[in-house]
Amino acid sequence: METVFSGIQPSGGFHIGNWLGAVQNWVKLQDDYRCIFCIVDLHALTQHYEPAEMSERVITLTSELLACGIDPARSILFVQSHVPEHTELAWILATVTPHGDLSRMTQFKDKSERAPDNINAGLLTYPVLMAADILLYKATRVPVGDDQVQHLELAREITRKFNARFGETFPEPQPLFTKATRILGLDGKTKMSKSVGNSLLIADPPEVIRKKIGNAFTDPTRVRKVDPGHPESCYVCGLQGYFASPEETARLHEGCRSATAGCVDSKRALAENMINALAPLREKAAEWKAHPDKIRQVLGDGAQTARVIAADTMARVRERLGLLAP
Ligand code: TRP
């Protein structure tokens, strides 16, 4: 079985973009790959955050991942900071990473622009830590959304550089593209993101879902209810397909196109379907959260398994580097 590695940041708010765009796919990958899923808390340190909230965020995210169907009996689920080899390998990989490549990364530039008061070196070396995550487990497949393609390209470049300098050590990780679902935020403008404030959380209760969907972006050319709408360019209509049956989706789109249904009708249907779809996830996550000891047990087991692989990789890496054995 090929090894898949992917990571998710505990940025506080697991939203439908994470679910539809990544985690639903992770759940399916468990059937065909040896999967390693990592809660990348060290990556999350590169942006403003509240130390008092971090551990709780990790626990909550774990409960949500488990609720979605990440199965610790088949996959390794663990927290990045529980396996110190990630940062050790990141340092080593940084020594073969061209500074220019890092400063050219689109996400580095975007994040620097968004938070000019916090352009830290960790933000710059973020993709090196990401490369270390993947290479530590010699993963060959990395499921990525289009916002991570550039980072994975760099990880591949770093792999080639390391192998060329120190001998064939790591396989080059390949992207694993799936029918790309890039879920936009409720404003219909940018990618759904907690920090942008345009997200709908898996944990949102029904009244919040109704309110958020009520304010979501729709076809801007449809000013009055009698104007025919354009479902293909309407954010709300686009989301229907993920939560309603194909028949209901077709009916809702037709109602929009023929102006027999208004945007408000469309939004109501979406909100109710979402509430129904998310309810079981919310319940399962709540069940897990009621037993934080069980969550810790899952993460403890995951880290233990991960550490064995990581230690083995690092022993070989130190040898390749020519470091004096202790
Ligand atoms: N940078 C990824 C994101 O924000 C998270 C991540 C960290 C990751 N390490 C990874 C993804 C390794 C894939 C592989 O989405």
User: What domains appear along the chain, each with residue ranges and CATH number?
Assistant: 3-183+292-321 (3.40.50.620), 206-285 (1.10.240.10)
Query: One of 28, 109, 179, 191 is an active-site residue; which one?
Result: 191
Helix/strand number for the chain, H first, E second? 14, 5
Cα(4) to ligand 1 centroid in Å equals 12
Q: What is the identity of the amino acid at 147?
A: D
pLDDT at residue number 265: 93
Residue nearest to atom 6 of ligand 1 (CA): 7
Evaluate: CB of 14 within 6 angstroms of ligand 1.
no
Best residue among 40, 141, 195 to mutate for probing ligand 1, ranked by most atoms within 8 Å of CB: 40
pLDDT digit string (tens) for 249-274? 999 999 999 999 999 999 999 999 99
pLDDT digit string (tens) for 46-68? 999 999 999 999 999 999 999 99
Cα(127) to ligand 1 centroid in Å equals 8
pLDDT at residue number 307: 98
pLDDT at residue number 180: 57
- Catalytic residue check, 111: yes
Confidence of residue 132 (pLDDT cuts 50, 70, 90): very high
Virtual torsion, Cα 87, 92, 94, 97, nearest 10 deg: -140
Of 28-37, 144-153, 166-175, 267-276, where does mean pLDDT reach its minimum?
A: 144-153
Of 93-107, 123-137, 251-265, where does mean pLDDT reach its minimum?
A: 251-265
Confidence of residue 146 (pLDDT cuts 50, 70, 90): confident
Of 13-22, 28-37, 181-190, where does mean pLDDT reach its minimum?
A: 181-190
Cα(41) to ligand 1 centroid in Å equals 11
- At residue 79, does pLDDT exceed 80? yes
Best residue among 3, 8, 78, 176 to mutate for probing ligand 1, ranked by most atoms within 8 Å of CB: 8
pLDDT at residue number 179: 64
pLDDT at residue number 134: 98
Evaluate: CB of 40 within 6 angstroms of ligand 1.
yes
- Catalytic residue check, 284: no
How far CA 147 is from CA of 18, 157, 192, 296, in Å, comes to 13, 17, 12, 31
Cα(244) to ligand 1 centroid in Å equals 30
pLDDT at residue number 99: 97
pLDDT at residue number 222: 86
CA distance linking residue 112 with residue 122, whole number of Å: 11
CA distance linking residue 189 with residue 306, whole number of Å: 38
Shortest CA distance to 126 belongs to which of 175, 164, 34, 147? 147
CA distance linking residue 238 with residue 240, whole number of Å: 6
Query: One of 111, 212, 267, 289 is an active-site residue; which one?
Result: 111
Residue nearest to atom 8 of ligand 1 (CA): 7
Question: Which atom in ligand 1 lies closest to the alpha carbon of residue 5?
Answer: 14
Evaluate: CB of 44 within 6 angstroms of ligand 1.
no
Question: Which atom in ligand 1 lies closest to the alpha carbon of residue 145?
Answer: 15
Shortest CA distance to 138 belongs to which of 275, 36, 281? 36
Confidence of residue 308 (pLDDT cuts 50, 70, 90): very high
- At residue 279, does pLDDT exceed 90? yes
- Catalytic residue check, 225: no
The helix/strand/coil state of 137 is: coil
pLDDT digit string (tens) for 163-218? 999 999 999 999 998 765 788 999 998 889 887 889 999 999 999 999 999 999 88
Confidence of residue 220 (pLDDT cuts 50, 70, 90): confident
pLDDT at residue number 226: 87
pLDDT at residue number 122: 98
Query: One of 138, 194, 284, 294 is an active-site residue; which one?
Result: 194
